[in-house]
Amino acid sequence: MLRALIDAGMDVARINFSHGTSEEHARDIHLIRQLADEKKLPVAIMADLQGPKLRIGEVSPEPLVLKVGDEIVLSSRQSAGEKNVIPLPHPDLIADVQIGDPLLIDDGTIELSVARKMSDRLVCRVVVAGDLFSHKGVAAPRSATNRRSHVSAITEKDRHDALLARDYGVDFVALSFVREPAEIEMLRSLLRGDITGNHDDIPIIAKIEKREAIDDFDDILDAADGVMVARGDLGVEISVQRVPMYQKEIIRKCNAVGKPVITATQMLQSMLSSPKPTRAEASDVANAILDGTDALMLSGETATGSYPVEAVQMMAKISAIVEEKMINWVDAVGFAQVHHAQPITDAISDATATIAKEIDARLIVTSTFSGYTARMVARERPFEPIVALTPSEATYRRLALTWGVTPILVPKCETTDEMLSVIEETVLSLSLAQRGDSVVVTGGIPLGEGRTNFLKVHKLAAH
């Protein structure tokens, strides 16, 4: 099945640490690496940490039928779940909420309002009725608005899982329920640990699914290496009708600084049980691409659905059709409007895309060690294919997440002439270009010093 998913177009495999055992994760990661090597394809692996997913305890008898106006008690003390007293083993959440705050259970299927509050329990009234089952998720969308939440985004389980993921050699770590940049820095420090020498920092993807993350998004974006628009939990935290506009704004801001952005949750939800998506789902996928998303993520469709391969194939087909029409991409944010971490590299990357369009180049080729140059070129969304040559295996895999980039693993080059020779040999041998074609080349020499310092229009030898 993994082989079929890679063949269908899977670029990144997300390992959901909310489920499964360490042994299962290790087995899956090893198998994905093995299959990617067999096929000589860059397939990145993302470890997705569970985060502080808040759940009620046991309900007895089950289900508890709740009607509008009913009163129930959520208690941090041990309880059998009888007589409308429901265990809520999260004292931090009880400390956070205030009288009048809403509590949403099971992704908003049931809504409660906090009527009274004690140190160890909440007395709530039912606002939206429903059948309450054990272990359903709880969200308190207003619990930390204008006040400091006691719930940490990094649990003890996350700490354990993050270190396992680092030891497994994953390419990205996704942090769930981010609220502030300090949590990203906390995870980064944990991943670095006491490792010394040539350790390569694992990029951190901030999952935007909390109201606080929306409010503090600019600082979170600055701290993170990439972003995921996690629309499921975000749609519980804020009104569903606002999610599309936040999605567009988040994608635009990520594009402006050249950081990869993933659009996730229910992209092809009907394909859990149907071999084809709805028209609305196809439009949703297409619009995310037109917004400028780097990647599209499937969740249940490939984790538990009946048509996982067909879902990936469908997403790839929609993407191909939409991207063919993206010739006249308009950059919503001008170059001068963005703070540039590496002004020279960013300026050269911007000019690379412009020159490639003006001369009708066959390819854009970036020689990169960290992947930064390739990402900066990709932020311009050029119509010409982007080929990233790198000697770094980590960069080779990680660039699989960036829009429009074909990463290729090559030996390290020490001189410009050596680099041009490797570029010419590589693109011709892989039929990415033909003799006589013009390609726009950008990179830095010596490679690995973290700077781009040249741009060249190179015509491939006629023979």
**Confidence label for 334 from pLDDT (cuts 50, 70 and 90):** low
- Identify the sign of the CA torsion 157, 200, 387, 343: positive
Q: Are residues 40 and 69 in the same domain?
A: no
- How many domains, the chain? 3
Choosing from 3, 55, 125, 159, which is the catalytic residue? Answer: 55
CATH code at position 355: 3.40.1380.20
CB 249 within 8 A of CB 235: no
Q: Is position 265 annotated as part of the catalytic site?
A: yes
Mode of pairing for the β-strands spanning 64-66 and 204-208: unpaired
User: Is the pLDDT score of 152 beyond 80?
Assistant: no
Query: The pTM is what?
Result: 0.88
Q: Dihedral of CA 108/283/14/152: which sign?
A: negative
Q: Are residues 47 and 165 in the same domain?
A: yes
Query: Does residue 402 form part of some domain?
Result: yes
Residue 256 predicted with pLDDT over 60:
yes
Tell me the CATH number at 174. 3.20.20.60
- In 209-294 the beta strands, taken as DSSP E runs, fall at 226-230, 261-264
Q: Is 84 within the bounds of a domain?
A: yes
* Residues 177 and 257 both lie in one domain: yes
Q: What is the arithmetic mean of pLDDT over 91-108?
A: 89
Let me know if 117 is a catalytic residue: no
**Cα–Cα dist 137/150, whole Å:** 18
Domain boundary among 324, 350, 367: 324
Residues 200 and 317 in one domain: yes
Gap between the Cα atoms of 12 and 171, Å rounded = 9
Q: How do residues 318-332 score in pLDDT, each as one tens digit? A: 999 998 877 565 555
Residues 229 and 295 sit within 8 Å (Cβ to Cβ): no
Confidence of residue 58 (pLDDT cuts 50, 70, 90): confident
Give the span between the Cα atoms of 25 and 46, in whole angstroms.
Answer: 11
17 residue type, one letter? F
Same domain? For 208 and 289 the reply is yes
Task: Give the pairing type, strands 44-48 and 64-66.
Answer: unpaired
- Domain-embedded: residue 352: yes
User: Rg of the chain over CA atoms, in angstroms?
Assistant: 24
Last residue of a domain, one of 92, 115, 139: 139
Which residues form the domain of 166? Answer: 2-51+152-324
Task: Tell me which of 166, 179, 207, 259 is the catalytic residue.
Answer: 207
Last residue of a domain, one of 118, 139, 160: 139
- Residues 457-463 have a mean pLDDT of 85
Our answer to whether residue 14 is catalytic in this structure is yes
pLDDT at 145: 47
Tell me which of 265, 293, 395, 442 is the catalytic residue: 265
Residues 350, 320, single domain; the answer is no
Q: What is the pLDDT of residue 146?
A: 47
Residue 340 pLDDT more than 80? Answer: no
Measure the N-to-C terminal CA separation of the chain; round to a whole number of Å.
43
Q: What is the CATH number of the domain that holds 111?
A: 2.40.33.10
For this structure, is 207 an active site residue? yes
Residue with more model confidence, 329 or 165? 165
- Quote the CA–CA distance of 48 and 28 in Å, as a whole number: 14
**Interatomic CA distance for residues 115 and 126, integer angstroms:** 10
Looking at the fold, whether 237 and 349 belong to one and the same domain comes out as: no
